[in-house]
Structure 1
Amino acid sequence: MASYAIGDLQGCYQEFLDLLAAMAFQPGRDRLFLVGDLVNRGPDSLAVLRWVYQHRDCVDIVLGNHDLHLLAVQAGLARQKGRDTLAEVLAAPDAPLLLDWLRCQPLVRRCGGYLLVHAGLLPDWTPQQAVALSAEVEAVLASAGYKEFLGQMYGNQPSRWHEGLVGMDRLRLVVNVCTRMRLLTDTGALDLDFKGELDDAPAYLHAWFDAPDRQHQDVCIVSGHWSALGLMLRPDVIALDTGCVWGGSLAGVRLEDRQVFQVPSRQARSSDWG
C-alpha cells in the first residue's frame, strides 16, 4: 500500500488519469490525497468529481477556494466568473449528490506526519489547532445553515488571527488562510493580492512557510494553490501546484519516500498562472 498526494486538478481529468497511471495507483490497494481545487478553469470538472466520488473509499480531499466557489454558485450565493467552467457540473443530474458530498469535506487533514491543506497555515497554529479550526468550518458547511455561511464567506477581513475572533469573522479568516493565503506581511496580516513568483514579492511580504517560529514545524505541510511557486520539496513543506490548468504539469508525490511524479498538461500554455 502506498499513499499519494496530488496538486490542483482544476478539472484536468485526462492529466489526472495520466498521473494515476504514472504512479501505478491501484484504488483497492493505495490511498490518494487531493490538496483542493478539484474543479474549475479546466475542461472536465464533472468527470473529476465523479471519479473522486466513485473512489471516495480510498480518496481523501481538502477543499480549495475553487471548490468553495462552486458550492456558493450552486447555492445561488455567487455568480460564475469570466473564466469559470462550472456550467456542466451545475447542470448534471447527479450534481446534488456530488456537491452534497463535496460540501462535507474538511479544509485540513492529518495523515501521520503530514498535514494536508490547500493554501497554508498560520505560523501561530499548532497542527492540533489547525485540525480543530477546520472542523469548525466543516461542521457549519455540513449543517442545515450552510447557505448562510456561504453567503458571508467572501471578503478579505479580518486579516489577522486572534483567539477572540468569533462567528463569521472567525470562520472567514480560517477559510482565507486555508484556501487563499500565500503571503503574510511583516506584522502577520494576510496579503491576498500578490499571486506571482516569490522572488518578485515586495520586501514587506514573506511566504507563510517562511514565517519564523512556526508552531507546526514538527509536521510536513502538503499544499497546492500557488502555481507561480511551483513544485517545492522541503523537509517541512511540499508544494504541488505546478499549473496544470495553465499548461504546466500535474504533480504528485508518494508520501512514504517523497518520490515525485509529473505529467505534462494537455492545456494551452497561459501566462495567467496564480
Structure 2
Amino acid sequence: MSRDIFIGDLQGCCEPLARLLENLNFDSSRDRLRLAGDLVNRGGQSLAALRLVYSLREAVTCVLGNHDLHLLAYAFGNRRKANAEFEAILAAEDAQVMLDWLRACPLLWLDESRRLGLVHAGVDPRWAPDRARAVAGEIEQALQREPHEFFEHMYGDEPDRWQPDLPRRERLRTITNVFTRMRFCRADGALDLATKGGPDNAPFGFAPWYDHLHPDWKGWHLVFGHWSQLGLFDNERVTCLDSGCVWGGKLTALVFENGERRFEVVDCSELP
C-alpha cells in the first residue's frame, strides 16, 4: 500500500531528510512525499537538499514557502543582500532545471477525496477551500507568466489583509503573505506579520490562523510548517510539522498509511 509522507521545513538541512527517508524505508515507486516548503536557506546544505528533493520529484509534492520564494527572487535578480547558500545553488550546473521545477510548485495542495491539504504557513479565514485554491492559482500563474514583475513587488507587509478589489500588485503580495508568512490573524483576515513566538504571544484581537478557519474546512485536515516556535502541533483539524530542524530541533514526518497516521522524527541537535 502507498503512503503519504508529509515532512516539515528543511531549510537547507539535507542530512536529516536523508536519514528520515531511510528510517521510513521510503520507496519512490510507491510512497508519495508531501513537503511543507522552505526547502532551502540557513541550514548550510541547501544545494544538496534541493538536489535530493529534485531527484525524487516524480514522487514529490512541495508547496512553496517564503524561503523558496526568496531563492527564486534572488535567482531573478532581486538580491537584497548576499546569500552564500543561494549563490552555491545558482553556480551549480543543474541550477536552472531545479529552479524551473521549484517555480512550478503550488502554494496550496488539496486532496478533496480524502479532505487533506498542505500549505506552508496558513489560509485566510474568509477563504473556503474553493476560494483558497483559486487565489493560490493567481500566484502560480504569476510565477510562470510574469516572474520578474512578481518578484519586484513581492516583499512587504502591506496591505495587512487580502481584499478581492485590491490593485493587482498588492493583491498578489497579500496572497503570498497569507500562504507563506502568516501566523496570527483576526477573523476579518487582518495579518500580524511582526509577532513571533508561540500562540500565547498573540497580539490583542489576534489568534493563530487555524483558530479562525472558514467553516467549509470542517472535515478537512490541513498540514503546514513555517512556525518553528509552535513546533509539532496536532489536533483534529491541523498539524504543524515545523519542529525546528535548522535550529537544532527535529525534522518531523506525518505518515498516513492504511487509514492511520503516525509521526516519525529525527534529531537534528548534532547537525554540523
TM class, shorter-length: over 0.9
> Matches of residues 129-168 of structure 1 in structure 2 within 5 Å?
129-143=131-145, 145-168=146-169
- Amino acid in structure 2 at the alignment position of 1:233: D
Conservation of the 8 A alpha-carbon contact between 1:4 and 1:31 = yes
Separation (CA, whole Å) in 2 of partners of 1:227 and 1:46: 22
Separation (CA, whole Å) in 1 of partners of 2:227 and 2:85: 20
> Matches of residues 42-121 of structure 1 in structure 2 within 5 Å?
42-80=43-81, 85-111=85-111, 112-121=114-123
Shift of 1:186: 6.2
Conservation of the 8 A alpha-carbon contact between 2:125 and 2:188 = no
Conservation of the 8 A alpha-carbon contact between 2:126 and 2:189 = no
Separation (CA, whole Å) in 2 of partners of 1:166 and 1:4: 38
**Larger deviation, residues 87-96 vs 227-236:** 87-96
- Residues 267/181 of structure 1: CA separation in 2 closer, same or farther (3 Å cut): farther
Calculate percent identity across the aligned residue pairs.
Answer: 45
Are positions 1:258 and 2:261 aligned together?
yes
- Residues 179/212 of structure 1: CA separation in 2 closer, same or farther (3 Å cut): closer
Aligned residues: 267
Conservation of the 8 A alpha-carbon contact between 1:115 and 1:127 = no
Separation (CA, whole Å) in 1 of partners of 2:196 and 2:85: 21
Separation (CA, whole Å) in 2 of partners of 1:259 and 1:70: 32
CA RMSD after TM alignment? 1.8
> Matches of residues 1-274 of structure 1 in structure 2 within 5 Å?
1-80=2-81, 85-111=85-111, 112-143=114-145, 145-185=146-186, 188-211=189-212, 213-256=214-257, 257-266=260-269
Unmatched tracts of structure 2, length 5 or more: none
Separation (CA, whole Å) in 1 of partners of 2:219 and 2:82: 39
The structure carrying a bigger helix percent of its residues is 2
Separation (CA, whole Å) in 2 of partners of 1:229 and 1:46: 27
- Amino acid in structure 2 at the alignment position of 1:153: M
Conservation of the 8 A alpha-carbon contact between 2:31 and 2:59 = yes
Deviations 1:189-229 (Å, cap 9, x if unpaired)? 10001121212333332100012654423311110000000
User: Who is 1:272 aligned against?
Assistant: none
